[in-house]
């Protein structure tokens, strides 16, 4: 009877949708995409570049095997590629499996930073190196195409480098790292300025080389990650009204304000540039703070705001856990233990334990303590595609600055 009631309700809502005004989605039409970033958009770069050991649970929801993504399934960038009707992005560092780069290339790798890597860095593929990889890729592709036009089936055409979309989702690891050393608020602000300067320099290099379409994600609410809460949120006074670490979210907000200002300045100095600034922070914080609205009322949300989006049966239960990790150890409230990562089995205090995934990943926002679930990534991508959180091309009239 319950199932019949749900089906009856869905049919009624579908009928009503035909009369409701729909949200106009963003129109994304590019022949190729080039992405620079960290694990939030890494589609296999770190696994290919460093032979990073990916646990068997990553990718289980959609790919049914590890896919090089730090997630149970798809990332935000995967859903955006679907919206553009383009294939999922192949990582630049992947050499096995005949990767095809006709519609772009992904230079993002997990753990990457905006600032150049040094001897103490866990990942050498920082933003400056990703840029170097891109320029080598571009020059090599153009050279090869000049000799063999059949390679257009595997590489972007030369004109596509101008028409392409250049995406950026990086900076979270820089902000994360600064809190492991004593730093005043003034030092954190100065540090964010350094990050923005480095990012601006890289974007300018791309612009001077012909890039015109830029898509910039600001950073999410860093203080709401279970790993951050478990490490820096032991004192209740360190937490905000959402249960997130206030200092980390303040730093993210400062970074995002400076990032937005940089985009304004970049437009003023680069008359042919088109920039879309995407407010990832607001989307994710809205999901975390109002997760219950996307729980029992998930059906209404999807039908009212996105009648054109099919509903997955796994989403009918909605989000139930705003801050706990799906794949972790320790149970509520965070289900995260800094001593044991998702999928790992080890001896803790004389007991052999495993950090296993939850039964229904669609009920969780966070996947492994640091990264988001496919369900959350899908939600974020859907919100991006409404256009309500994107500012382009007239940034000066922006209604948001976080």
- Which two tokens mark 127? 């933003």
Whether the Cβ atoms of residue 45 and residue 9 lie closer than 8 Å to each other? no
Query: φ and ψ at 262, to 5 degrees?
Result: -65, -40
Q: Percent of the chain scored above 90 by pLDDT?
A: 79
DSSP-assigned beta bridge partners for residue 274: 213
pLDDT average, residue stretch 52-66:
94
Residue 23 pLDDT level (bands cut at 50, 70, 90): very low
DSSP-assigned beta bridge partners for residue 351: 348
pTM: 0.88
**Catalytic residue set:** 39, 368, 371
- Which two tokens mark 139? 């020059």
pLDDT, one tens digit per residue, over 77-130 is: 999 999 999 999 999 999 887 789 999 999 999 999 999 999 888 899 999 999
Query: φ and ψ at 167, to 5 degrees?
Result: -105, 145
pLDDT average, residue stretch 8-17:
41
Lowest-confidence range among 26-35, 233-242, 372-381? 26-35
pLDDT, one tens digit per residue, over 287-297 is: 999 998 885 44
Whether the Cβ atoms of residue 379 and residue 385 lie closer than 8 Å to each other? no
CA-CA distance, 386 to 402, in Å (whole number)? 18
Map residue 335 onto helix, strand or coil: coil
Q: Does residue 183 register a pLDDT over 90?
A: no
CA-CA distance, 84 to 80, in Å (whole number)? 6
Other Cβ atoms within 10 Å of 4 Cβ, number: 8
């Amino acid at each position: 009877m319950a199932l019949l009631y749900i089906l009856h309700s869905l049919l009624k809502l579908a009928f009503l949708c035909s009369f409701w005004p729909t949200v106009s989605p963003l129109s994304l039409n590019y022949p190729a995409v080039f992405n620079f970033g960290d694990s939030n958009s890494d589609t296999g770069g770190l696994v290919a570049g460093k032979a990073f050991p990916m646990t068997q649970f990553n990718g289980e929801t959609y790919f049914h095997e590890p896919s090089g993504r730090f997630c149970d399934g798809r990332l935000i960038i995967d859903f955006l590629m679907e919206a553009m009707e383009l294939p999922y992005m192949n990582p630049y560092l992947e050499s096995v499996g005949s990767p095809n780069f006709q519609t772009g290339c992904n230079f993002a790798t997990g753990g990457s930073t905006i600032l150049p890597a040094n001897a103490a860095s866990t990942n050498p593929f920082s933003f400056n190196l990703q840029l170097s990889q891109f320029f080598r890729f571009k020059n090599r592709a153009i050279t090869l195409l000049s000799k063999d036009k059949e390679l257009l089936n595997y590489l972007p055409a030369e004109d596509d480098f101008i028409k392409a979309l250049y995406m950026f989702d990086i900076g979270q690891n820089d902000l994360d790292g600064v809190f492991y050393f004593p730093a005043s608020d003034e030092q954190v602000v100065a540090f964010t300025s350094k990050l923005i300067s480095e990012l601006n320099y890289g974007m300018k290099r791309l612009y001077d080389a012909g890039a015109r379409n830029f898509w910039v994600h600001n950073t999410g609410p860093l203080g709401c990650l279970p790993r951050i809460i478990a490490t820096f949120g032991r004192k209740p006074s360190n937490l905000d009204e959402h249960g997130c670490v206030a200092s980390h979210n303040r730093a993210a907000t400062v970074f995002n304000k400076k990032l937005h200002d940089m985009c304004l300045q970049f437009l003023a100095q680069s008359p042919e540039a088109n920039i879309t600034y995407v407010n990832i922070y607001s989307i994710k914080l809205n999901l975390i703070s109002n997760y219950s609205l996307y729980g029992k009322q998930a059906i209404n949300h999807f039908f009212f705001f996105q009648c054109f989006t099919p509903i997955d049966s796994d989403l009918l239960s909605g989000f139930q856990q705003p801050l706990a990790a799906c794949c972790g150890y320790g149970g509520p409230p965070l289900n995260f233990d800094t001593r044991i990562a998702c999928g790992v089995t080890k001896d803790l205090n004389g007991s052999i334990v495993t950090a296993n995934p939850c039964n229904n990943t669609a009920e969780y926002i966070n996947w492994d303590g640091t990264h988001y679930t496919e369900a959350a990534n899908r939600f974020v991508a859907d919100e991006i595609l409404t256009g309500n959180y994107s500012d382009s091309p007239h940034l000066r009239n922006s209604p948001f600055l976080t």
